[in-house]
Amino acid sequence: MAPWSTLLGVCCLALGTYPLSCTARPQQKVHFNASQLHADVDAPHAFVILGASGDLSKREIYPALWSLYRDNKLPSNTRFYGHARKNIDVAKLRENVDPYVKISDDELKRYDEFWSLNKYTAGTDNEDADYDKINEMIGKDQGGPDARGNRIFYLALPPSVFQNATTQIKRACMAKKGWTRIGVEKPFGHDLASSEELSHHLSSLFTEDQIYRMDHFLGYDMVQNLLRIRFANRMFDPSWNKHSIASVKINFCENMGIEGRGVFFDENGIIRDVMQNHLLQIMSLIAMEKPVSASSDDVRDAKVELLKSTKAVVMDDVVLGQYVGNPDSDDPRERIGFQDDPTVPPGSNASTFALTVLRIQNQRWEGVPFIIRAGKGLDVNKTEVIIQYKGIENDIFNGQSNRNELIIRIGTTEALQVKLMSKIPGFSSNIEEITMDFDYINEYKDLKLPSAYEVLLLDMFHGNQMNFVREDELKEAWKIFTPILHEIEGKQIKPIDYKFGSKGPQEADELEVKNNFL
């Protein structure tokens, strides 16, 4: 049987498309129907942001809530409550959020309505009186302390205060007649032990179906599409295994530096920042076995089994890097190295780049390296999965054939690309590599994709946990990375210097080749 990509190429060529491009079926705009919400849609809803004055809230949470409100995605009787230490009011909160939203003249009245539904209280993370006040406000707006109503508490807080805040929520702020849900922002611990401590604390207060561990990558449309690409297309199944695939690379590149996050990076590094969570989530969706169904529990069961089959990373499969200033760059930002940032502690060994090779021990993937590469201060800004197929056996074209590749672009550029071999047009009998490109922006001209936070916050209202991290999933993820993190920190392993604006350390490229990625 021919590889699926060859079959796809033949189909597209038969349609007379050259240069190649794949066209979507009649467009169906992505939207969320309020009728899909839970049966309690008419009840009052309270969305509470703890840490409302922080950077995450103004950049992501409030803009997402505004977009959902503007587009009538939320229950009609929803109010918003902010709480933080800063002594400000709703007007100041709105002023902080304004730079991160785009409001047309036609939307200004609606925007005013959104903010009229907001309240803000200043207070601590752990004082009884502060949470009693939050509970009193919500109860009053929902018709009394014992009235029917639902509550979501979103913890846009540092992990150091999670326990205080959640203990107070449980003590004072739970819905009496309705549901209560808790949104927890990463990082979920610092290693396996600290993660389990946090998980045990949360499970002592709430049931698992009340806890929503946010990993915003799971809100990207293409990440959610991975499940559909794999299991709604028959052509993929025969080749999605060790017999056809040589290697898989998950690549996260940012062409910006840490931008004042020196303390965070000194404590966490790139592995904790994006690799142990975001990129491992992508890998689990790429590599997991077919779930029993598309339900939340069945999909997450399949991801957990995949993670259990993944060996802990070892030092021979790791390259660490730290960007330095590039004095030859015309961009002044690129002349500033990691150590030059005033927020970075002197002599920090934190990694701003890492490449790790993950190895899955199961029948499907035994021997196929999964290369996860992530870095800041690089030459491009992109996130992609590259599935590289093995070379042609008994090649009759004198070695002209390159490996087929499936490329999945995620985030700001959502796209699918297939690289395959094709005859050069005209009298030539030689072959060349061509690319079929399915780009969301090109194919869906009027499409306005919701942000990852819009998708996930709406899931919290729906009660849909598929795109949130379950406790056992989190535990297995930390098992893969905790040993290598402890070794790196215990031995104070120094990362390799690489210039800002480069592709990263040369040693990373060499390790990729060693692991059969060409």
Active site residues: 278
Contact 351, 271 (CB under 8 A): yes
In order, the DSSP letters of 85-101 are SS---HHHHHHHHGGG-
CB atoms within 10 A of CB 431: 16
Continuous H helices in 408-505: 440-443, 452-462, 471-490
> Three-state SS for 235?
coil
First-to-last alpha carbon distance for the chain, in angstroms, is 24
384: tokens are 């992609």
> Three-state SS for 429?
coil
Task: Tell me which DSSP letter residue 334 carries.
Answer: G
Phi, psi of 436 (to 5 degrees): -95, 130
Residue 428 CA to residue 175 CA, distance in Å, equals 73
Burial string for 61-78 (b: 16+ CB within 10 Å, else e) reads bbbbbbbbbbbebbbebb
Residues in the chain: 518
Residue keyed to tokens 């021919």: 2
Residue 41 CA to residue 239 CA, distance in Å, equals 44
